Amino acid sequence: MDQSLSEVALQNYYQLLADNSLISQSQASQPPQIPTSPSMPDYPRCPICSHRLITCHGCSNVTCDNSHCKGADLVSFVSSCQSCFSTLAMSKMCSQLDCFSRAHFTGGVICPDCVSPTDGHILCLCEDSWICGPCATQNKSLDSCGRCPKCQNYFCFLRCRYIGACADCRKVTLCNDCMEEGLSDREGSSRANNSTFLVATCEQCQSRICIDCFDERESRCESCNSVYCKDCTDYDECPGCGEFMRA
């Protein structure tokens, strides 16, 4: 995992130490150079305790790897254990595939400002998927959840028991609560244009397929009539009977 330190971030760390009277201003003005040789992976080191300096995967800020160092107290990073978040919901890894916090859970470090887990986060009612604050509030397409067309609440795609989602296009049905509410004919017609209808189940993974995707592509094996989603038909043979299947 890339743990390289930038010169600017290193200079900022040294200046922060000087501003807090932990090192002299002359030391802060002459931080060690960033090495180019892979044979020196532990360099540079903290001028206070000589432990390795580490960098945040989100913003590239630098701090000391020694939790007992006064420098580490100035720039506190989240360690690589899942118990670092204080609540049950926040102990989950963010479900967004491009989230910075995924580096945190694979052995790296990240500062709390880059995770901001409780600020605008999304936790599906089923509690199987969680989207951290930055991913939920940024203008990005979310990998694992979508809004109910009626109530606009977020639900996950992972076979959530509160909403249905098409395995191929990721369009969602109305959530269970909205399904149970009585809608007027006019409102019901409007909502139907935004939601999807699931008409088939993949024989391989049991995911659901919407009517549009089922009609647009060859989801059914012509030999055994089995139905498969896109993820389960990335090969030419039917997973069930072995006959050729157009995907």
Instruction: Work out the average pLDDT over 55-66.
Output: 75
Band (34; pLDDT cuts 50, 70, 90): low
**Do residue 70 and residue 101 come from a single domain?**
no
Burial class (CB in 10 A: 0-12, 13-18, 19+), 18: middle
With b for 16 or more beta-carbon neighbours within 10 A and e for fewer, the 88-101 pattern comes to eebebebbbeebbb
Above 50 in pLDDT, residue 124? yes
Above 50 in pLDDT, residue 185? no
- The answer to whether the beta carbons of residues 31 and 14 sit under 8 Å apart is yes
User: Is residue 226 in some structural domain?
Assistant: yes
- Of 223, 216, 207, the closest CA to residue 167 belongs to 207
- Out of 71-75, 118-122, 203-207, the most confident range is 203-207
**Do residue 153 and residue 128 come from a single domain?**
no
Band (88; pLDDT cuts 50, 70, 90): very low
SS3 131: strand
- The answer to whether the beta carbons of residues 62 and 68 sit under 8 Å apart is no
**Do residue 42 and residue 90 come from a single domain?**
no
Give the percent of the chain with pLDDT over 70: 66
**Do residue 90 and residue 60 come from a single domain?**
no
**Do residue 115 and residue 42 come from a single domain?**
no
Provide Rg for the chain, Cα atoms.
25
Q: Hunting for tokens 């922060």 — which residue is that?
A: 16
pTM: 0.51
User: Is residue 238 in some structural domain?
Assistant: no
**Between 154 and 190, residue with greater pLDDT:** 154
- The answer to whether the beta carbons of residues 132 and 96 sit under 8 Å apart is yes
pLDDT at 17: 93
User: Is residue 1 in some structural domain?
Assistant: no
How many domains, the chain?
Answer: 3
User: Is residue 42 in some structural domain?
Assistant: yes
**Do residue 218 and residue 161 come from a single domain?**
yes
Question: Which pLDDT tens digit goes with each residue over 194-247?
Answer: 688 899 999 888 889 998 888 877 677 777 888 888 888 766 677 778 777 654
**Do residue 133 and residue 149 come from a single domain?**
no
**Do residue 126 and residue 167 come from a single domain?**
no
- The answer to whether the beta carbons of residues 2 and 61 sit under 8 Å apart is no
Q: How far apart are CA 47 and CA 185, in angstroms?
A: 71
Q: How far apart are CA 227 and CA 208, in angstroms?
A: 10
- The answer to whether the beta carbons of residues 91 and 85 sit under 8 Å apart is yes
Q: Would you state the structure tokens that stand for residue 217, as one six-digit string?
A: 């592509």
**Do residue 113 and residue 51 come from a single domain?**
no
User: Is residue 177 in some structural domain?
Assistant: yes
**Do residue 164 and residue 224 come from a single domain?**
yes
Question: Which pLDDT tens digit goes with each residue over 40-52?
Answer: 555 678 899 988 8
If you average pLDDT over every residue of the chain, what do you get? Answer: 73
58 contacts: CB under 8 Å, gap ≥ 6? 100, 103, 110, 111, 113, 114, 115
Question: Which pLDDT tens digit goes with each residue over 97-111?
Answer: 777 666 544 445 556
User: Is residue 237 in some structural domain?
Assistant: no
User: Is residue 247 in some structural domain?
Assistant: no
pLDDT at 23: 92
User: Is residue 197 in some structural domain?
Assistant: yes
SS3 232: helix
Above 90 in pLDDT, residue 22? yes
Above 70 in pLDDT, residue 64? yes
pLDDT at 97: 76
Question: What is the residue range of 124's domain?
Answer: 82-137
**Between 241 and 117, residue with greater pLDDT:** 241
**Do residue 23 and residue 59 come from a single domain?**
yes
**Do residue 70 and residue 114 come from a single domain?**
no
pLDDT at 114: 59
Nearest 5 degrees, angle CA 231-CA 233-CA 238?
145
**Between 52 and 191, residue with greater pLDDT:** 52
